[in-house]
Amino acid sequence: MGRWKLIAAALLSVLMLSACTQSPTGRNQLMLFSSGQLASLGDTSYAQLKQQQKVNTDPKLNAYVQCITDDLIAVLPAPWRDKEWEVTVFASEEINAFALPGENIGVYTGLLQVTENAHQLAAVIGHEIGHVIADHGNERMSNEVAVGLGLQLGAILAADRMDSNSTALVMAALGVGAQVGVLLPYSRIHESESDQLGMDYMAAAGYNPAEAANLWRNMARAAGSSTPEFLSTHPSPQSRIAAIEAYAPRLQSQYQQALAGRRTPLCSL
């Protein structure tokens, strides 16, 4: 190892020591990027997606998706519930959804063919919000940098902005790679953490967390005829369903209580 490499490695390890945080479920995470950097990368990616892809403007459909999103946001922990989340419905047969740092959510009309009710759509949106709140995009980009693969990401870290070469890589790390042709599936750890967080939000908002399992069953069934984009970055529905079914009963009383306490009926189309 050359002298500069040694110095760089030493600097990186100092950086890493100071960059360890804990996820909402208490897992240690390496975070090399600031939340401001992530928000700006997420905003840039979101603006690009909205420019490139067709947006659905049906008022009824948009109101339905917005209604569920609002319900979930209202029960998020501080400071997340006070942030300005935006949701966009994309007109596409893709069975997909995403949430990006900077509090940007995307739902594809194809997904609405797979979700049978508001509970199941809340399961997907809650899961995606979970990825943002647990800072999974930051963790993925940081891990790439730490193992020396994310040279372009390292450049972002230094320059504090996204250059055109790194756009696809950043979008993949943030969970929207399928839209730009780069697949970077979430790890099982991130997936189960987001499933758990999503179900927590569902229960707190009066949506039945047990429906999350049905959602994944529908997703797997839809995979029989085509490959849902969502499944390409969200692998292994079978083990996921088992974990969801083990966790959901713990939330039933909270869900029932929240449902009884709702001042408005559940969102409907």
How far apart, in Å, are the Cα atoms of 68 and each of 27, 61, 124, 143? 28, 11, 11, 33
**Phi, psi of 10, rounded to the nearest 5 degrees:** -65, -40
Contact 146, 12 (CB under 8 A): yes
Interface mask toward Zn ion for 49-78; x: CB under 5 A: ------------------------------
Stretch that binds Zn ion, among 56-64, 90-98, 179-187, 250-258 (CB under 5 A): 179-187
Region of 172 on the Ramachandran plot (φ > 0 left; ψ -120 to 50 alpha; else beta) = alpha
* Number of shown-chain residues binding Zn ion (CB under 5 A): 3
Does residue 201 interact with Zn ion by CB under 5 A?
A: no
Tokens of residue 208, six digits: 């039945």
In sequence order, the 6+-apart residues with CB closer than 8 A to the CB of 84 are: 103
Residue 119 vs 240, nearer CB to Zn ion: 240
Tell me how far apart the alpha carbons of residues 259 and 32 are, in angstroms, rounded to a whole number: 40
Count CA atoms within 13 Å of residue 133 on its CB side: 29
Distance of CA 31 to the CA centre of its chain: 17
Stretch that binds Zn ion, among 22-30, 63-71, 101-109, 234-242 (CB under 5 A): 234-242
Nearest to 77 by CA among 250, 255, 205, 230: 205
Name the minimum Å distance from CB 148 to Zn ion. Answer: 26
- Characterize 214-223 residue by residue with b for buried, 16 or more Cβ atoms within 10 angstroms of its Cβ, and e for exposed: bbbebbbebb
Residue 140 vs 234, nearer CB to Zn ion: 234
Name the minimum Å distance from CB 183 to Zn ion. Answer: 13
Does residue 216 interact with Zn ion by CB under 5 A?
A: no
Q: Which of 85, 186, 216, 230 binds Zn ion (CB under 5 A)?
A: 186
Name the minimum Å distance from CB 93 to Zn ion. Answer: 20
Name the minimum Å distance from CB 25 to Zn ion. Answer: 14
Name the minimum Å distance from CB 234 to Zn ion. Answer: 5
Name the minimum Å distance from CB 98 to Zn ion. Answer: 9
Q: Which of residues 106-135 bind Zn ion (CB under 5 A)?
A: none
Which residue type does 62 have? Answer: N
Does residue 234 interact with Zn ion by CB under 5 A?
A: yes
Stretch that binds Zn ion, among 53-61, 116-124, 188-196, 254-262 (CB under 5 A): 188-196
Stretch that binds Zn ion, among 22-30, 62-70, 76-84, 231-239 (CB under 5 A): 231-239
Residue 46 vs 186, nearer CB to Zn ion: 186
Nearest to 38 by CA among 84, 103, 129, 121: 103
Stretch that binds Zn ion, among 13-21, 105-113, 189-197, 245-253 (CB under 5 A): 189-197
Nearest to 72 by CA among 192, 196, 202: 202
Residues that bind Zn ion (CB under 5 A): 186, 194, 234
